Amino acid sequence: MNAFVLILQRDLRLAFRRWSEIATPLMFFIIVASLFPLASSPEASQLRESGSAVLWMSALLSSLLALDGLFRTDAEDGSMEQLILSPAPLSLIVLAKILAHWAVSGAPLLLFAPLLAISFYLPAEALPTLIIALALATPTLSVLAAIGAALTVTLRGGGAIIGLLVLPLTGPVLIFGTQATEMAINGESALGPLYLLAALAVFAISVGPMAASAAIRVAME
């Protein structure tokens, strides 16, 4: 557990020193979601109808921007070999790095998504469901991103390959997240999609770090 805390603190310190890695995904999310109302019809009904899909697609694409450096920096400076040889389980170290990645790329979306939802005329009653759905979905996206980054850790220009690997796997998250938001907008109970998002998050957090650590061992050989 000490290794988990140390790796988490280290990655968070490095992330805040490279503030552009935090600002770029967040600014992408804000810009894409803000430009859509300008490019489409200004009618409230049409914006409300497409708002949930735009917010979720923007969140998904913004989460892919910070993937390339998840393990690559450690692989390039030789830290990854030391982490592999350390007595701490590699899956625990990977979990700490995933948590740090989520803290700087996924958690900020929870703060700005309600503000952007207002521009799509989403009712205030749907905002709590949107926040809860994003809180359940973004950890799953970070785990999927970690698996893709682990598979391409030694490849140059692996960012595009990561996107090709991760995007097909994000389908269920996108479907259930959008469905939960739309049900909340229509005044219906969104517990079903939220339960499914929670199940996906638990499964991803349980299995994902082990899959990513196995991929790192194979890639570093």
pLDDT digits (tens, 9 = 90+) for 53-96: 888 888 888 877 767 667 877 777 777 888 888 888 888 989 99
Biggest distance spanned by C-alpha atoms of the chain: 59
DSSP-derived secondary structure for 30-61: HHHHHHHHHHS---HHHHHHHHHHHHHHHHHH
Pick from 127, 131, 124: nearest CA to 110: 131
218: Cβ–Cβ under 8 A, 6 or more apart, which residues? none
Model confidence at 133, in pLDDT bands (50, 70, 90)? very high
Give CA–CA dist 198/185, Å, rounded. 20
Tell me, what amino acid is at 77?
Answer: D
Range of the domain at 150: 2-220
Q: Considering its fold, how many domains does the chain have in total?
A: 1
Asked whether 67 and 109 are in contact (CB, 8 A), the reply is no
pTM of the model: 0.88
Distance CA 152, CA 81 (A): 16
Percentage of residues in the chain having pLDDT higher than 70: 94
Q: Is the pLDDT of residue 43 over 80?
A: no
